Chains A and B, each alone.
Chain A
Amino acid sequence: QLQLQESGPGRVKPSETMSLTCTVSGGSINSASYYWGWIRQSPGKGPEWIASIYFNGKTYSNPSLQSRVAISTDLSKNKFFLKLRSVTAADTAVYYCARHVVDAYGDPNYFDPWGQGTLVTVSS
């Protein structure tokens, strides 16, 4: 059974860079069947997709965050990563990693499953 586990700093100071890791077990991220994505959710709000990455390095990112976001993988360790630069209080949220299922055309579709999430608070 595929499982995803996020890890991160918990608290980041304004203007700094937030770094998150997603460790995948029970399946390989080196697969043509899936992208691997990051989604965040601020308290009381709907989820917001951040970025997704394919095994060959192809990426998609939300235009609203694109200038501050970097997503990458370490296929040998079955992990993928998110960096978000120049954070502000508006970036405070629970951050989830998830498997991003592709369709017959190789385009990312829905998310299944999700990790349990990690709360990141931006505060000095």
Chain B
Amino acid sequence: IVLTQSPATLSLSPGERATLSCGASQSVSSRYLAWYQQKPGLAPRLLIYDASFRASDIPDRFSGSGSGTHFTLTISRLEPEDFAVYYCHQYGGSPPWTFGQGTKVEIK
């Protein structure tokens, strides 16, 4: 399954709402989709799993939604530490389990 993330770059100001999209080339079974945040020089950090469940210690300004072939990560009010690259990852069905190419959220 190929995951396509849009937009490639999102330029926003702190306090604004961010909406990131992840489209799948085939339906993702059981809503088996995760979102990760990656900051420069660091490993990805799990934010959301099973499309809409927040991982431990993730603030509630992060939320995930979607099913089938379209998924969304929403950051309700951007904090300075939220400017980073975000990746979606599907783990439904048989391998290979795949990642998107990322959306960079940058300060406007």
Q: Which residues of A contact B (CB under 8 A)?
A: 45-49, 60-64, 96, 98, 101, 108-117
A62 contacts which of B34, B45, B95 (Cβ < 8 Å)? B95
Cα–Cα, bound, A116→B45 (Å) = 11
The 6 closest A-B pairs by CB, nearest first: A114-B43, A112-B46, A110-B34, A46-B99, A46-B101, A47-B99
Query: B interface, by DSSP: helix, strand, loop or mixed?
Result: loop
Give the bracket for the number of chain B residues in contact with chain A: 20 to 34
Q: Is the CB of B34 within 8 A of A46?
A: no
Q: Is the CB of A61 within 8 A of B87?
A: no
Instruction: Answer whether residue B44 sits at the interface, using C-beta atoms and an 8 A cutoff.
Output: yes
Supposing A96-B43, A116-B43, A117-B43 touch, asked if A110 and B99 sit within 8 A by C-beta, the answer is no
Q: Is the CB of A113 within 8 A of B91?
A: no
Q: Is the CB of A47 within 8 A of B96?
A: no
Q: Is the CB of B95 within 8 A of A47?
A: no
Cα–Cα, bound, A110→B95 (Å) = 13
Cα–Cα, bound, A108→B96 (Å) = 11
Query: A interface, by DSSP: helix, strand, loop or mixed?
Result: strand
Inside 8 A of B49's CB, which chain A residues have their CB?
101, 109-110, 112
> Which residue of chain B has its CB nearest to the CB of A49?
B97
Inside 8 A of A45's CB, which chain B residues have their CB?
101
Interface bits B83-108 vs A (CB < 8 Å: 1, else 0)? 00001010100011111111000000
Interface bits B37-52 vs A (CB < 8 Å: 1, else 0)? 0000011111001100
Cα–Cα, bound, A103→B76 (Å) = 29
> Which residue of chain B has its CB nearest to the CB of A62?
B96
Cα–Cα, bound, A77→B101 (Å) = 35
Q: Is the CB of B89 within 8 A of A64?
A: no
